A = this chain, B = another copy of it.
Amino acid sequence: MSFLELHTPGAPLLMPNAWDAGSAKLFQSLGFKAIATTSSGHAATLGRLDGRVSRDEALEHCAALVAATDLPVSADLEDGFATDPAGVAETVRLAAEAGLAGCSIEDFGGGEIYDAGRATERVAAAVEAAHSGSRRLVLTARCENHIRGRDDLDDTIARLRSYQEAGADVLYAPGPRTADAIGAIVAALDRPVNVLALPGVPPVAELAALGVARVSVGGAFAFAALGAAAEAAAELRDSGTYGFWERAGAGARAARESFGP
């Protein structure tokens, strides 16, 4: 089954976001069928905030995750590391060379949300690159409105329809949390829709009933890991005790099952 075929409205593909080769192998071992990258989680491994990773670094990271797992990998390529459509297309071509099964392109870059026309031109260029090579990539077009302070569902839906008409394979607007909003997005489109599993979003079973085709978590698993590390370190620092080994033991067992021979 191709990566695109795994996108089933009503039976969403659960696509965890890995931040290094080890977490990608872990998620494969846990039975997931596809892996995403996360720009914020990857940046965190480098000790940087989101948005401070170069295209070369992102693509090298993607290639490492592709090499680590047998599963399709879809990359969070932020704004395509370019403002102009040709630059976005070049990034998508390089993504195909890195062995990715898919990638996402956002409509926010350089500190602003692109106007809808420009954003659609960027999606069209990305689609052209994604579909014309010897490896056909699944191109996800992202509308960043709701996580960039523009909580305008009508505009979001209009943009996603425009990105669909430009040929995007999957549509994605991180941020909306209510069943009404998510249902309205799904109903307005006839391509698979990805939902970001934020706090307050309906659980997966309800998303399935709404017709959602894919669920991802952004940086959540990466930051859950970092949060556990902070908890463990604070225990050592503040109490001088080692209760962190309970979770560490489980993690070490999971690693043996995921990495071993």
Interface residues of A, Cβ cutoff 8 Å to B: 14, 16, 20-27, 30-32, 40, 43-49, 68, 197-199, 201, 203-205, 207, 215, 217, 219-234, 236-237, 239-242, 244-245, 247-252, 254-256, 258-261
Contacts and interface: CB of A to CB of B under 8 A. Distances in A.
27 contacts: A14-B237, A20-B46, A21-B45, A23-B226, A26-B229, A27-B233, A40-B252, A47-B68, A47-B258, A49-B259, A199-B245, A203-B239, A203-B240, A217-B236, A217-B244, A220-B232, A221-B229, A221-B232, A221-B248, A225-B225, A225-B232, A226-B254, A227-B228, A227-B250, A228-B247, A229-B251, A230-B254
A30 B233 contact: yes
A227 B233 CA distance: 15
Nearest to A28: B47
A232 to B, nearest CB: 4
Name the residue in A14, A224, A236, A254 with the highest tally of chain B Cβ atoms < 10 Å from its Cβ: A224
Please classify the interface of chain A as helix (H, G, I), strand (E, B), loop, or mixed, using the class held by over half of its residues.
helix
B223 A226 contact: no
Given A49-B256, A225-B251, 15 more contacts: A16-B233, A22-B44, A23-B229, A30-B237, A32-B233, A44-B255, A45-B45, A48-B259, A197-B236, A203-B242, A219-B248, A221-B248, A225-B226, A225-B229, A227-B250
A64 B153 CA distance: 43
Contact of A198 (B25, B26, B245, B255): B245
A251 B215 CA distance: 21
A110 B24 CA distance: 29
Nearest to A12: B240
B244 A221 contact: yes
A49 B244 contact: no
Given A223-B255, A242-B201, A31 B229 contact: no
Contacts of A249: 199, 223, 227
Contact of A247 (B224, B236, B259): B224
A226 to B, nearest CB: 4
Contacts of A226: 22-23, 26, 225, 251-252, 254-255
